[in-house]
Structure 1
Amino acid sequence: MGKYVLMLFITAALITGCSSNNKQQTLEVKENRAPFPPIIEPHNPEQAEESGDVVVVMGEMRNRDKWKTFVQNVQKHQPDQVRVTMYTIEGGPIIHELVYDGELIQTTYDDTRDMYGSRQNKTLNTCTGISTMKSGGWRTFYILTGCEQESTFSIPST
């Protein structure tokens, strides 16, 4: 009986040790990337823009070239990253950090600086791509697609 338990344990250890772990591989890519610039408080639109963030205030986008480059790199399967800071009507920043490893987009959603935000931890998500969506028949937005969890990310395309 002990012999069978030992064989079962060894077999399970070999199977576990030889199987791939995609999450671990994605985390390794994320750890090797250059960190985002530090967030200067209070994170107002001018400071966010100077830090290199793509900034969205009242539907207007600043540092648009950084967003376009990120989208193009995703389409070409080239690793890239971008931080998008969107401001609510009240002026609260909501920060999205997107890291693309050539296959998947790791997103971090941080609304802790918004007075109506969660005040809790940042939310992590994994998505497979970016697409456009029309809203109201006349506005087009970029959205994340193929996400593990429902995505709240949308950014105007114009």
Structure 2
Amino acid sequence: MQMKTISLLLTVVCLLAACGQKEQAGGGSTPAFPELTDPYRAEKAIENGDVVNVHSRIANWERWEQFMKNVAQQTPDQVRITSYTIEGDPTFEELVYDGKKVVFTYDDSMDKYGGKDKGRQTTTCEGIAIASKSKGKNEYILKGCDKEFGQYFELSN
């Protein structure tokens, strides 16, 4: 009787431990993004290591550059880009690179004026490309995405 109770207890503990683990969109090889809080102010986003775009003023650009170096070296990495609407609401673009493909998630769920279709959308893309270079600036885009909204990702420094 005691052995059955111990076995049952161990099984429950193992199940609870497995349920408590978060799986990443990119397969779990990179740590989870910092949790999003509401409100998610630019200062908090910068502190969390996000690349932050406030009306074309970019903070933490070096984080994007490191992400691109890791992609070039086929090293798994992830980056979150937080942009702010005119009203000050955050939108998020998360890119998780697994060494081969990029999982791109667009999230406008905190945009109070985002319309009825707001929320999280995810697509898998073949990679990231430099679309153009002008005046010393690069414009980055996603290529080969399996869903159309991935083609709307654009970032420039």
Q: C-alpha separation between the residues in 2 aligned to 1:126 and 1:90?
A: 30
CA contact (8 A) 2:101 2:125 kept: yes
Per-residue deviation, residues 60-94 of structure 1 (Å, max 9, x unmatched): 21111110000111111110011110112222211
- TM-score when normalising by structure 2: 0.74
Structure 1: tracts of 5 or more residues without a match: 1-26
Runs of 4+ in 1 over 6 A off after TM superposition: none
- Quick one: which of 114, 117, 138 aligns to 2:114? 117
Residues 105 and 114 (structure 1 numbering): CA distance in 2 closer, same or farther, change over 3 Å?
same
Per-residue deviation, residues 19-43 of structure 1 (Å, max 9, x unmatched): xxxxxxxx78523431111113201
Amino acid at match of 2:48: S
Structure 2: tracts of 5 or more residues without a match: 1-23
CA contact (8 A) 2:29 2:98 kept: no
1:77 matched to which residue of 2? 74
Residues 118 and 104 (structure 1 numbering): CA distance in 2 closer, same or farther, change over 3 Å?
farther
Map residues 1-158 of structure 1 onto 2, 5 A cutoff. 30-118=27-115, 120-134=118-132, 140-150=138-148, 151=150, 152-156=152-156, 158=157
The aligned length equals 130
Q: C-alpha separation between the residues in 1 aligned to 2:144 and 2:49?
A: 27
CA shift at 1:121, angstroms? 3.5
Alpha-carbon RMSD = 2.1
- TM-score when normalising by structure 1: 0.73
Tell me the secondary structure at the aligned position of residue 28 of structure 2: helix
Residues 28 and 130 (structure 1 numbering): CA distance in 2 closer, same or farther, change over 3 Å?
closer
